[in-house]
Amino acid sequence: MLWREKLSLYLDLIRWSRPAGWLLLLWPTLGALWVAAGGFPGWHLLVVFVIGTILMRSAGCCINDVADREFDRHVKRTAQRPVTSGALPVPEALAVGAVLALLAFALVLSTNWLTIALSFAALAVTLIYPYSKRFVSMPQSVLGVAFSMGIPMAFAAVQGTVPALAWALMVGNLCWVLAYDTEYAMVDRDDDLKIGIKTSAITLGNADVPVVLACYLAFLAIWTLALMQQAQSALFYIAVLVTLGQVGWHWTLIRGRTRDGCFKAFRLNHWLGFTVFAGLALAYATR
């Protein structure tokens, strides 16, 4: 196989052409980094967390595709993924994931012992998540933990400790993950019912749309209340209002429970995260 073809398979494996996944990880992590540092955290930590986020999201895709390859064959949206289709052998996909995770760990080694320790916890949850779909009625909650680990790591890297504020922001972010990953699960609900895996969309049934909206609102409420002392600027509250408007838009997309509407809502979630982060960054910049 030509090296260009192999590279194309690797890029497809890590969803390189679909950056929404790592952006969903990045914005809350950067938000936590700004809060922990009281503003711009410095170039070293910015590079560590931006590149580390991309690398770990990519490694997670490799693990997920290997774990779900038998299920993915029966889902319209995932049947042509490289591992599922057989274009990429399982050992090779795992090797790619291992290299990416090791590169991310090399970046973490430039921080401190607490951040390094938390990185092992983050890796453990990343490994557990793909298999939680077999046993947990709402595996999105496990993903929520995995996608929120950058928050305590950011505080640990800046302050050398993880204060109560970090855990509050993590809980709020978990609510956001439940919202957008339930939208994602709503896309594949029919296929998932046939193959017997568990998702929040299946567990919630007709309560899916109200619960998604409740999770969005819980995310915004927790972050707004937790950051009242830190983000003392009208710009932050304007960003929250803009985010509320996006939540309303998402409701119009998912209320019909169509595949296209739910998938569009999921893909646009990174703008919601960006809006909150931008409000925070501007609040600190104009103090």
- Secondary structure in 3-state letters for 176-219: HHHHHHHHHHHHCHHHHHHHCCCCHHHHHHHHHHHHHHHHHHHH
Domain-wise residue ranges, the chain: 3-285
Interatomic CA distance for residues 137 and 143, integer angstroms: 13
Q: What is the mean pLDDT of the chain?
A: 92
Interatomic CA distance for residues 110 and 92, integer angstroms: 28
Look at residue 167 in the predicted model and tell me its pLDDT: 97
- For the segment 87-95, the average pLDDT, to the nearest whole number, is 89
| Model confidence pLDDT, tens digit, residues 211-253 | 999 999 999 999 999 999 887 789 999 999 999 999 999 999 9
Is pLDDT at 1 greater than 60 in this prediction? no
- pTM here is 0.93
Contact 262, 186 (CB under 8 A): yes
Is pLDDT at 120 greater than 90 in this prediction? yes
Look at residue 45 in the predicted model and tell me its pLDDT: 97
Q: What is the CA radius of gyration of the chain?
A: 19
| Model confidence pLDDT, tens digit, residues 178-198 | 999 999 999 988 888 888 888
Calculate the CA dihedral of residues 106, 12, 66, 72 and round it to 10 degrees. 150
Residue 280's Cα: distance from chain center in Å?
19
> Which CATH architecture describes the domain 3-285?
Orthogonal Bundle (1.10)
Q: Which among 63, 199, 168, 185 is positioned nearest to 124, based on CA atoms?
A: 63
